[in-house]
């Protein structure tokens, strides 16, 4: 019997020190940002470049991440019918849950009546502040949206950061590689190596997340002030509660039906959620969300299609906000909307939310597009919520993020592209 070599025993992995964990650093940065913005507003406002710089860094890498993930994922597919089926199921899922989110906003606004009692005269509202958003909403027609999917050149999506254009080119490129066959193999190996390099770059950039979260939060609190939400606090609380209920009840039901816990999923993507909370931008978490969905057992090709598409079409938080905000304005102005008018509002919102997908400030722009089609609600009423929109954008982005993570796992399971054992392991 051979003697045991004690010197070569495998030592247990060293536990990471708490202050080196990214989400702990982001939490601390957010707290410091809130304190700075509250007690030293001018200094807080001056921190804006830190938040803007981090979001620019992430947006810089988003297009290459999406392009490489989709191309490599499609290259693994030998049957193009599978890809068509994934896209079809994704769009059907997005349409269903977007409509449910819009309905939740309508239902909660009718029960809670967040705008009742304000007694605002629409004639006294200053519409100049919202004219810019109304103009953008006119530009964001569904036809214009469809035309905007087609890029100017084959490489322009990689430089302008348009997610849908990147998706369009990546799908075409991936299909072409499959059809070319063996001749595309050398390029495929180059893309695989390039993908490893790009994701290493993502991990490097994520180290700047605490600085970005600090800058964005300090600016928000410094510029708008915690006190500015006082008068409309009920609307904000109602919106946050509605979003939480949507995640726990509706997404919770679909996740349970598909064999996983929505609570455990939220815990699994906590780093991404804190990043979104700090920056108010769901795009800041897109690259790492795609990585995490693959690590959770979802097939690369499904992740590559569902996540980027969901960022444009599966905006659950934005949809809840749109119908709730529209009804808040009507209630504040003592306008009683009939059931038919509310159904019209829901249908218009369902279309306008797709028309402004990928547009900066999409939440407020889609609201302007929706209200402008329903003449009963004064567009000038948007001025009532312009000041608190920033405080609601975090919740919109967080709900959108959780919705897309849930959608990716569900669609992967439907397509038998989910490693259930791996999912259970990472969600522990």
Ordered DSSP codes for 227-258: GGGSTTHHHHHHHHHHHHHIIIIIIHHHHHHT
The answer to whether the predicted template modeling score (pTM) of the entire model surpasses 0.85 is: no
Which pLDDT score is estimated for 353?
A: 65
Beta bridge partners of 135: none
* pLDDT bracket for residue 122 (50, 70, 90): low
Pairwise CA distance, residues 229 & 119, whole Å: 18
**How large is the average pLDDT for residues 158-186?**
81
**How large is the average pLDDT for residues 185-201?**
85
Task: Please name the residues in contact with 162: beta carbons below 8 A apart, sequence gap of 6 or more.
Answer: 63, 148, 151, 358
C-alpha dist (Å) from residue 36 to 56, 253, 379 = 23, 40, 35
Choose the weakest-confidence range: 187-201, 232-246, 324-338, 349-363. 349-363
Residue 359 reports pLDDT greater than 80: no
Nearest Cα residue to 170 out of 273, 32, 290? 290
More confident residue, 97 or 167: 97
Which pLDDT score is estimated for 405?
A: 93
C-alpha dist (Å) from residue 323 to 80, 114, 118, 364, 372 = 38, 12, 18, 12, 13
Task: Please name the residues in contact with 396: beta carbons below 8 A apart, sequence gap of 6 or more.
Answer: 243, 315, 317, 318, 320, 321, 363
Residue 13 reports pLDDT greater than 60: no
Choose the weakest-confidence range: 134-143, 173-182, 258-267. 134-143
More confident residue, 136 or 69: 69
Nearest Cα residue to 65 out of 187, 157, 186? 157
Pairwise CA distance, residues 255 & 263, whole Å: 10
Average pLDDT, the chain: 79
The terminus-to-terminus CA distance of the chain in angstroms comes to 40
Choose the weakest-confidence range: 213-227, 288-302, 324-338. 213-227
Which domains can be identified in the chain, with CATH numbers? 17-427 (1.10.3860.10)
Residue 355 reports pLDDT greater than 60: no
Residue 380 reports pLDDT greater than 90: no
Which pLDDT score is estimated for 325?
A: 86
Which pLDDT score is estimated for 133?
A: 53
User: How much of the chain exceeds pLDDT 90, in percent?
Assistant: 13
Nearest Cα residue to 408 out of 310, 337, 328? 310
Which pLDDT score is estimated for 408?
A: 93
Pairwise CA distance, residues 82 & 182, whole Å: 20
Residue 3 reports pLDDT greater than 60: no
Residue 127 reports pLDDT greater than 70: no
Ordered DSSP codes for 320-382: HHHHHHHHHHHHHTT----HHHHHHHHHHHHHHHHHTTT-TTHHHHHHHHHHHHSTTS-GGGG
Residue 373 reports pLDDT greater than 80: no
**How large is the average pLDDT for residues 285-292?**
86
Pairwise CA distance, residues 346 & 103, whole Å: 7
């Amino acid at each position: 019997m051979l003697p045991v070599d004690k010197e070569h025993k495998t030592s247990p992995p060293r536990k990471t020190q708490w202050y080196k964990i990214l989400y702990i650093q982001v939490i601390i940065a957010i707290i410091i940002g809130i304190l700075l913005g509250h007690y030293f507003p001018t200094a807080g406002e001056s921190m804006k470049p830190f938040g803007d710089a981090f979001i620019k860094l992430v947006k810089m890498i988003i297009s290459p991440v999406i392009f490489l993930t989709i191309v490599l994922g499609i290259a693994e597919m030998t049957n193009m019918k599978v890809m068509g089926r994934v896209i079809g199921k994704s769009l059907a899922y997005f349409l269903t849950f977007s409509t449910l989110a819009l309905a939740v906003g309508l239902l909660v606004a009718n029960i809670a009546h967040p705008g009742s009692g304000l007694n605002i005269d629409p004639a006294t509202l200053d519409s100049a502040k919202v004219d810019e958003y109304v103009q953008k909403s006119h530009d964001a027609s569904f036809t214009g949206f469809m035309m905007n999917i087609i890029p100017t050149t084959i490489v322009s999506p990689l430089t302008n950061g348009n997610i849908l254009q990147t998706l369009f080119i990546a799908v075409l490129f991936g299909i072409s590689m499959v059809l070319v066959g063996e001749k595309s193999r050398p390029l495929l190996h180059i893309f695989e190596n390039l993908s490893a390099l790009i994701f290493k770059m993502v991990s490097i950039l994520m180290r700047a997340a605490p600085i970005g979260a600090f800058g964005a939060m300090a600016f928000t609190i410094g510029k708008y002030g915690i006190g500015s939400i006082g008068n409309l606090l009920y609307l904000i609380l109602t919106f946050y509660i509605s979003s939480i209920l949507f995640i726990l009840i509706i997404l919770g039901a679909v996740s349970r039906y598909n064999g996983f816990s929505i609570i455990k999923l939220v815990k699994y993507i906590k780093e991404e959620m804190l990043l979104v909370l700090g920056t108010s931008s769901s795009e800041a978490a897109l690259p790492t969300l795609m990585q995490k969905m693959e690590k959770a057992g979802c097939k690369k090709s499904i992740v590559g299609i569902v996540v980027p598409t969901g960022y444009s079409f599966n905006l659950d938080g934005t949809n809840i906000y749109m119908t709730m905000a529209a009804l808040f304005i009507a209630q504040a102005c003592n306008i009683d909307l009939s059931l038919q008018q509310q159904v019209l509002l829901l249908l218009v919102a369902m279309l306008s939310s797709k028309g402004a997908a990928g547009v900066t400030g999409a939440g407020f722009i889609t609201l302007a597009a929706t209200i402008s089609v329903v003449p009963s609600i004064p567009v000038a009423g948007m001025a009532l919520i312009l000041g608190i929109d920033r405080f609601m954008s975090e919740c919109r982005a967080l709900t959108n993020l959780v919705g897309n993570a849930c959608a990716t796992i569900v669609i992967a399971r439907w397509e038998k592209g989910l490693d259930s054992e791996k999912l259970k392991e990472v969600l522990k």
